[in-house]
Amino acid sequence: LTLESELALAADRGEFELFYQPQVRLVDGSLLGAEALIRWRHPARGYVSPGEFMPVVNTSSLSERIANWVMETACRQARAWELSGNSVRVAINLSPSQLDSGDLAHSVAALLAKTGLTPSLLELEVTEDILLHDESRVLDMFERIQQLGVRVLFDDFGTGYASLSYLKKFPLDGLKIDRSFVLDLLADSDDAAIVGSTIGLSKQLGLTVVAEGIENRATADFLVSMGCEEGQGYFFGRPMPAEAFERQFLPAE
Ligand code: G
Ligand code: G
Ligand code: MN
Ligand code: NA
């Protein structure tokens, strides 16, 4: 069996799950939202991480099917949390296929209508590679997505293709500072310079800035001292199943 046909079977059998990692307000650790991250619950191997299978998914005919499943599952979860009185923003990672095939703005609008989710509780994370696609089409699509009230953030900011001029052109609500700049922030003065400048730039442009890869209190404090308000990382919580996320982060009813 090739990995691709194994993945098709896994999809048929419902072996994919979304894990949720908390995103918090750095000053007090209060919950703002969650990033949805796919896992494959393999019957023999246990949880398989997306790094091992998403590259295959993304270049196969399964890509659109799994991307749609991720988007729908995340929206349903966010809506369930909203109905229980918790406004948890849920962020999903877009797959390259979602930019090429069909009209993403239309699918997002349909999904919001179907689930009843408040649009501002949905966030789309896009990597800078998005800009390698047909530019005017992508810009138009994201303008319509943003007009729906859905938030759009650049993921892994600083590691990809974008030049700063795209920050002017692209309809954007925020930037996620890649964890490669954050993990060693306290020891590496180059990282500190890059992170500090990115925070300043974001603020000047009126963008939200979210730091990823925060693994300890001292890093969180340093980010706060540089003016970063939002963050995510193992210090606040690892990606976890929805039920564990609820137990740990949402008040009991
Ligand atoms: O969860 P983890 O750190 O192992 O994720 C590894 C990579 O897989 C990250 O770059 C993340 O953005 C990506 N990834 C996780 N879940 C999804 C998903 O649902 N869709 C897409 N396209 N990528 C995902
Ligand atoms: O590419 P993207 O930013 O979507 O990837 C998210 C990935 O980052 C997830 O696979 C998640 O497991 C990982 N991650 C989240 N927080 C931390 C952290 O504090 N440290 C490290 N090393 N990885 C993290
Ligand atoms: Mn991400
Ligand atoms: Na990242």
C-alpha 207 – ligand 2 centre gap (Å): 21
Residue 77's pLDDT is what?
A: 98
**Within 13 Å of residue 223, how many CA atoms lie on the same side as its CB?**
34
**Cα–Cα distances in Å, from 194 out to 170, 197, 198, 218?**
21, 5, 6, 18
| Regions of the chain with pLDDT less than 50 | none
The verdict on the CB of residue 39 being under 6 Å from ligand 2 is: no
Residue 253's pLDDT is what?
A: 66
**Within 13 Å of residue 19, how many CA atoms lie on the same side as its CB?**
14
The verdict on the CB of residue 215 being under 6 Å from ligand 2 is: yes
Q: Which of 203, 212, 149 is closest to 185 using CA atoms?
A: 212
DSSP, collapsed to helix, strand or coil, labels residue 80 as: helix
The residues with which 227 forms a beta bridge, in sequence order, are none
Nearest alpha carbon, ligand 1 atom 16: 37
74 CA to centre of own chain: 11
The verdict on the CB of residue 213 being under 6 Å from ligand 2 is: yes
Task: Enter the DSSP assignment of 171.
Answer: -
Q: What is the pTM of this model?
A: 0.96
C-alpha 131 – ligand 2 centre gap (Å): 22
Task: Return the exposure string of 186-224: e unless at least 16 CB atoms fall within 10 Å of the residue's CB, then b.
Answer: eeeeebbebbbebbeebeeeebbbbbbbbbeeebbebbb
Does residue 205 come out as left (phi exceeding 0), alpha (psi in the -120 to 50 range) or beta? alpha
Residue 131's pLDDT is what?
A: 77
For residue 9, the one-letter residue type is: L
C-alpha 1 – ligand 2 centre gap (Å): 30
Q: Which of 243, 253, 252 is closest to 20 using CA atoms?
A: 243
Q: Which of ligand 2's atoms lies nearest the C-alpha of 235?
A: 19
Residue 111's pLDDT is what?
A: 97
C-alpha 130 – ligand 2 centre gap (Å): 20
The verdict on the CB of residue 64 being under 6 Å from ligand 2 is: no
Residue 228's pLDDT is what?
A: 98
